[in-house]
A and B are shown apart, each in its own frame.
Chain A
Amino acid sequence: MNYMLSFIVNGTATDVVVTPTETLLDVLRDRLSITSPKRGCETGDCGACTVLVEGLAVRSCITLALTVQGKSVTTVEGLARDGNLHPLQQAFHDNGASQCGFCTPGMIVSLAELLEKNPAPGRDEARSAIAGNLCRCTGYVKIIDAAMAAGSIKEKGGPL
């Protein structure tokens, strides 16, 4: 059976016909060419697929697409504003927090949820926020440094 999914992706109203077992990840990557969320484990464990649904970080690989009917979904592509990078994107760049980049979108999305709720988190809070995001390259330290740097940008009233 096919069903119409109408939802908002990165601010744009979008309609796509899906089957019940298509995941949000399938729809974002394969139907809408929004490729920042990655296929990692596809069981909800690695965090590479993480996107925001109504501002909350969720695993798009185990979210059935139809369950976001009418909701707003944000990926890394939607975090920049008017050509300005989100503080996290800027901080990841400045702090060398990406190596291969595969985990990076999931990391940024998970930290973006944290910064919305807590603009000046401590290192432990940042670690908890990425507890479900695996990185095989960096050893995480620079990712946490970037989270701290982004927090201080937000606190000083930087973009977003």
Chain B
Amino acid sequence: MSIHYYAPKTLAEAISLLSEHAPQCMILAGGTDLVPKLKNDAAAPRALVYIGALGLSYIRQEGSRLAIGAAATWSMLTASSLVSSCAPVLAETAGMPATSSPGIKNAATVGGNLATASPAADLATPLLVLDADVCIQSVRGARTVALRKFFTGPGETVLQPDELICEVSIPHCLGISVFEKIGRRKAMSISVVNTAVRVALEDGCCRDVRIALGSVAPVPLRCPLAEEMLIGRKPDRELFKACGAAALRASSPIDDAAATAWYRRTAGAALVARALGKAAGLPDTLEK
């Protein structure tokens, strides 16, 4: 079967192509998830729409928000001084060897990580704690979806077949955000469990808290009940341990080839506690 390839130069052209060819078309950016699927016939679209030439690789300030174009790569996040000052957790997550390798990060995009919607997506959890919005375009116009409402299942999102993620938009966030993950090796490691947290303190007590978990549910998960436990409380190691356990109680990890549900729940709770401690500025007794 013959596949058509399009490399539109404008957004209008791109969304028109998607509208014309949906649902048999796929959007190609870095291709790090799509091309392996094409190669083993897990995907067989009739058309590929390459979005690398649309000028969607920007990272810029828009008012008080940080706007990251959907085609910005992981390497761009790490190299961006704007990301390092406004949302350093993204630069750290994209920069750590555990999340991937330089050859992948030079191609893999922010939009692609969200659109592929693996429950283990390493950028999803930090973006969730940063209260990110996903900006989407189609021939029907633009719409914005809060990231916490974006994922609907493993590999599934609210995106319609003819819709394109254009931008991820992040508000100015108070506090310190931390991302932690556990994988099976030091680099290029799919998360067995990952977490991101954000803690903003006021007068020594937690004022804003966000906790997100990956790889322990069908979607990357916010944990509002665990977050509420901490509001108004002083940072405390035992409290954070209890909070980590509460966060994992709200999840539904499974046994799979990488790890068991028991491991994910146990290690995940400890990971959340450790991340909260780091975000709240507690000295970390575990790190050597």
Question: Which residues does A use to contact B, with CB under 8 Å?
Answer: 1, 3, 19-21, 23, 42-45, 47, 50, 56-59, 62-64, 66-67, 69, 110, 113, 128-129, 131-133
Which residues in A have their C-beta under 8 angstroms from that of B101? 47, 131-133
Name which residue of chain B comes closest to A127, CB basis. B97
Name which residue of chain B comes closest to A41, CB basis. B36
**A63 with B5: CB separation less than 8 A:** no
Quick check: is B39 within 8 A (CB to CB) of the other chain? yes
A58 and B29 alpha carbons, distance in the complex (Å): 13
Which residues in B have their C-beta under 8 angstroms from that of A58? 103, 106-107
List 30 interface pairs A-B (beta carbons < 8 Å), by A numbering: A1-B2, A20-B5, A21-B38, A44-B32, A44-B103, A45-B188, A56-B106, A57-B103, A58-B103, A58-B107, A62-B31, A62-B35, A62-B107, A63-B35, A63-B107, A64-B28, A64-B31, A64-B48, A64-B50, A66-B5, A67-B7, A67-B52, A110-B102, A110-B103, A113-B102, A131-B97, A131-B188, A132-B103, A133-B101, A133-B103
Residue among A56, A113, A129 facing the most chain B CB atoms (10 A cut-off):
A56
A58 and B100 alpha carbons, distance in the complex (Å): 12
**B35 with A1: CB separation less than 8 A:** no
A116 and B252 alpha carbons, distance in the complex (Å): 45
Also in contact, A66 and B97, with CB within 8 A (given A59-B103, A59-B107, A132-B188): no
- A64-B31, A67-B7, A67-B50 given; name 12 further pairs at CB < 8 Å: A20-B5, A42-B39, A43-B39, A44-B35, A47-B101, A57-B103, A62-B35, A128-B102, A131-B97, A131-B186, A132-B104, A133-B103
A43 and B37 alpha carbons, distance in the complex (Å): 9
A129 and B101 alpha carbons, distance in the complex (Å): 8
The 4 closest A-B pairs by CB, nearest first: A132-B101, A131-B187, A20-B5, A62-B35
A50 and B186 alpha carbons, distance in the complex (Å): 20
A58 and B73 alpha carbons, distance in the complex (Å): 12
Name which residue of chain B comes closest to A106, CB basis. B103
Which residues in B have their C-beta under 8 angstroms from that of A47? 101, 103
Which residues in B have their C-beta under 8 angstroms from that of A44? 32, 35-36, 103-104
A132 and B28 alpha carbons, distance in the complex (Å): 22
Question: Which residues does B use to contact A, with CB under 8 Å?
Answer: 2-5, 7, 28, 31-32, 35-36, 38-39, 48, 50, 52, 75, 97, 100-104, 106-107, 186-188
A62 and B97 alpha carbons, distance in the complex (Å): 20
Which residues in A have their C-beta under 8 angstroms from that of B100? 132
Which residues in B have their C-beta under 8 angstroms from that of A56? 75, 106
Name which residue of chain A comes closest to B4, CB basis. A1
**A1 with B5: CB separation less than 8 A:** yes
Which residues in A have their C-beta under 8 angstroms from that of B4? 1, 20
Residue among A21, A23, A131, A133 facing the most chain B CB atoms (10 A cut-off):
A131
| A144 → chain B closest CB, angstroms | 14
A113 and B103 alpha carbons, distance in the complex (Å): 10
Name which residue of chain B comes closest to A2, CB basis. B2
| B180 → chain A closest CB, angstroms | 18
**B5 with A57: CB separation less than 8 A:** no
